[in-house]
Structure 1
């Protein structure tokens, strides 16, 4: 992880192993992209995605309250438009905890942080929790389909506890507060326990809902800076 990690605050949560499309148009984040693209070709282009707990994605960073735990995003594809905007596809690689925020300066007009990588551990009884979450998630998909939101996990949906914990965390349709709780869980077993709690809650809600018009399952939103 870089000594000082560039930060990209978002109103969304990125998880390790999952991808996210992004659109960059603010000047400071254009500067960030310019700095990343200037790196040697064999050096990963990375920045940290942190959740905005209070404030907005667009505007002065001084008005934002940011989460202390985020996810490193590695740029997989980038397209620069003639007007200077960028379209990105990033993939989450590892979680980190912010040790200290570094204010913008003339050379780096975007927020940075000194950060520490967080370990990825299965935790106690992770396999048992994974089996339970797998069953609950299958029921969740069935109930989404039952209310008119066709939902079917991809054929390569993971079963290994750490990967499954993040895949379900990214897939379940809950608010950012719950997504952040999932990201911050100490290990996969704790994340799976929380996911099971959320899935049971959502399954009860879905059972009570009337049929809805068909809609996309787990639609990918383009995150704007």
Structure 2
């Protein structure tokens, strides 16, 4: 398990610089696995530091498939890609690194009836990114041709804080994920407008 100060969504890449001995051990064991496609869990740290432990962790997270690893002078640069969501049933002995017993959450299902809502969500997110983000790295980000992947990727580029992202991660249907993405993005725009007076 990799507790972080950020939320990982399914179908979204996450680059990580690994330097703590416990996580170097964890990644080393993943790389030693015979089977390809090894995974680790990512959960949001709700309170406390990323390094050193002693943090309070969210109960819903996302598995990440390790896709690349490169050794630095005293660290590892790895990239994972989110796969399935889970809930933490309980944390177990953290020696030599954080571990937990998990239950996988059901995949969110796509329906073509959601296409207009998806189009609205994408229009809102891209408009608000262009307005509030400086610079605007995600305003023109390409989304997957797969609609399920595209909706999660859209949630990932929405200009939201981590607690709003965590709300999205807990969505129980594709429709609620899209509606909440729209609502939270519009709320973020209102806050930005109030702060900057425009």
Same fold (TM over 0.5): yes
Q: 1:170 aligns with which of 128, 133, 156?
A: 156
In structure 2, the residue matched to 1:9 is 3
Looking at both structures, which has the greater relative contact order when contacts are Cα pairs under 8 Å and sequence separation is at least 6?
1
Instruction: Quote the Cα distance in structure 1 between the aligned partners of 2:99 and 2:50.
Output: 16
Instruction: Quote the Cα distance in structure 2 between the aligned partners of 1:49 and 1:150.
Output: 26
In structure 2, the residue matched to 1:94 is 84
- Mark the runs of 5 or more structure 1 residues left unpaired by the alignment: 1-6, 212-225
TM-fit CA distance, 1:121? 2.2
In structure 1, the residue matched to 2:120 is 132
In structure 2, the residue matched to 1:21 is 15
TM-score (structure 1 length as normaliser) = 0.78
CA deviation map 1:166-207 (0-9, x unaligned): 112211222211111111111221111111101212333445
In structure 2, the residue matched to 1:111 is 98
In structure 1, the residue matched to 2:70 is 79
TM-fit CA distance, 1:10? 0.2
- Mark the runs of 5 or more structure 2 residues left unpaired by the alignment: none
Bigger drift between 181-190 and 123-132 goes to: 123-132
In structure 2, the residue matched to 1:216 is none
Number of residue-to-residue matches in the alignment: 195
In structure 2, the residue matched to 1:31 is 25
- Greater helix share, 1 or 2? 2
Cα pair 2:43 2:60 within 8 Å, conserved: yes
In structure 2, the residue matched to 1:55 is 48
1:157 counterpart SS class? coil
